Amino acid sequence: MAWLILVLSGVLEAVWASALSRTEGFTRLTPTVVFFIALVLSMLGLGIAMRTLPPGTSYAVWVGIGAALTVAYAMATGAESASVAKVLLIAGIVACIAGLKVLS
């Protein structure tokens, strides 16, 4: 169950990171509300997962999922350019996350 919560928290990290870029300095209401809700839920989930999972592994997985999804979303929406190299590097992050799960 802790792994599921950790993965969902990583997804929420990508949500708040993406929303943050749309707040325009916290001047836009909807992205600002989405940012704060996703931030709080993401941190709560990370904290809950860390009750049973090692902190280093938890943090690495949380950041990796958030970073990979944030970049993937930015490329999918055209906010960031896509390239084969970027896709391969993101796949490497995902592979490392899977490796941490397998090793724990």
pLDDT in tens, 70-82: 999 999 999 999 9
Residue 50 has pLDDT above 80, yes or no: yes
Can you give the pLDDT at residue 104?
Answer: 76
Q: What secondary structure letter does DSSP report for 1?
A: -
pLDDT of residue 9: 98
Share of the chain above pLDDT 90, in %: 93
Q: Shortest CA distance to 3 belongs to which of 36, 50, 70, 64? A: 50
Say yes or no to pLDDT of 53 above 80.
yes
Average pLDDT, the chain: 95
Give residue limits of the domains in the chain.
Answer: 2-103
* Cα–Cα distance for residue pair 80/37, rounded to 1 Å: 25
